[in-house]
Amino acid sequence: MIGIFDSGFGGLTVFKEIKKALPDYNYIYLGDNLRAPYGDRGQEIIYQFTEQAVNFLFKQGCDLVILACNTASSDALKKLQQEWLPANYPNGRILGVIRPLTEEATKVSRFGKIGVVGTTATIKSGAYLRELKHLSSLARLCPTIKAWQQACPLLVPLIEEGWLDKTETRMILKKYLRPLKDQQIDTLILGCTHYPLLMKEFKRLCGKRVNVLNAPKIIAAKLVDYLQRHPELEQKLVKQKAVRYLTTGDPKTFSKLGGKFIGLEISAEKIVL
């Protein structure tokens, strides 16, 4: 079984594409809505919350867990992979969303000028900049990478309020993007799983010269490739097309708003971490 974890609703944009690319597998989606958002929390508490969620998913029988949350991937993934997983679930796997997006950005960038937008915690962690610097040092993808980042703290609450087409949202997004456009970036990484819901506005404001990466599709494609390269894991995954949606918050609210994120009616269960 594959577990998908996010602090709230945003990871549903990723799960939607994963389910489309890999429809036969069993999935559990877990949103920690009771304690969301993670974006303005400290690194220690983000790690603690993420560890609790990942532990719950492995106890439910997951063999692979995807941190479909940029904040969790930034502040918790490395420690979970290197320290927690070997001690607790040595046969399990945990993957994040930062590596797939930075790899794609370095491949498609024409001039190596890459912008990153995300929550305050994701941007403060510097995880995207470190990963881009690492890839640049390998000198095999894009050896002259320059990267700039911009925190966009107001976008998640606006998206969750359904203000996708509001003038106010467009004005705020335009202001956030201005420093990156001033650097003449040619590629933009949406470092938050909520942001694809504003893809049209990102593309419109960035213009045709900027490649705004479709993060959910990229992450799904990278997962397909990962499973092909790890048949020992793929063969363990149950293929009964079963999906469970879990939330630490109100299941009715999750079902209603989550359905808008994923584009279909869903029924969520409440759990306690």
Instruction: Parse the chain into domains and list their residue ranges.
Output: 2-96+217-270, 98-215
Query: 235 in the Ramachandran plot: left (φ > 0), alpha (ψ -120 to 50) or beta?
Result: alpha
Largest Cα–Cα separation, the chain? 50
The C-alpha atoms of residue 266 and residue 212 are separated, in whole angstroms, by: 29
Q: Specify the residue for token string 């912008």.
A: 115
Sign of CA dihedral 258, 262, 266, 269: negative
Domain 98-215 is found in CATH 3.10.105.10? no
> What pLDDT score was predicted for residue 201?
97
Order of all β-strands in the sheet with 187-191:
146-151, 113-118, 187-191, 211-212
The C-alpha atoms of residue 163 and residue 230 are separated, in whole angstroms, by: 41
- Phi, psi of 5, deg, nearest 5: -120, 140
The C-alpha atoms of residue 231 and residue 245 are separated, in whole angstroms, by: 26
**CATH class of the domain defined by 2-96+217-270:** alpha beta
> What pLDDT score was predicted for residue 144?
80
Q: Which residues form the catalytic set?
A: 69, 192
| Residue 195 CB partners (closer than 8 Å, separation 6+) | 117, 152, 155, 159, 202, 215
Residue 118: strand, helix, or coil: strand
> What pLDDT score was predicted for residue 230?
96
pLDDT, averaged in runs of 10, over the chain (273 residues): 95 96 98 91 94 98 96 94 97 96 94 95 94 78 82 94 94 98 97 95 96 97 97 95 97 92 93 95
Helix (H) or strand (E) holding 12: helix 11-21
Helix (H) or strand (E) holding 93: strand 93-95
> What pLDDT score was predicted for residue 140?
58
> What pLDDT score was predicted for residue 113?
96
> What pLDDT score was predicted for residue 194?
93
Q: Same CATH topology for 2-96+217-270 and 98-215?
A: yes
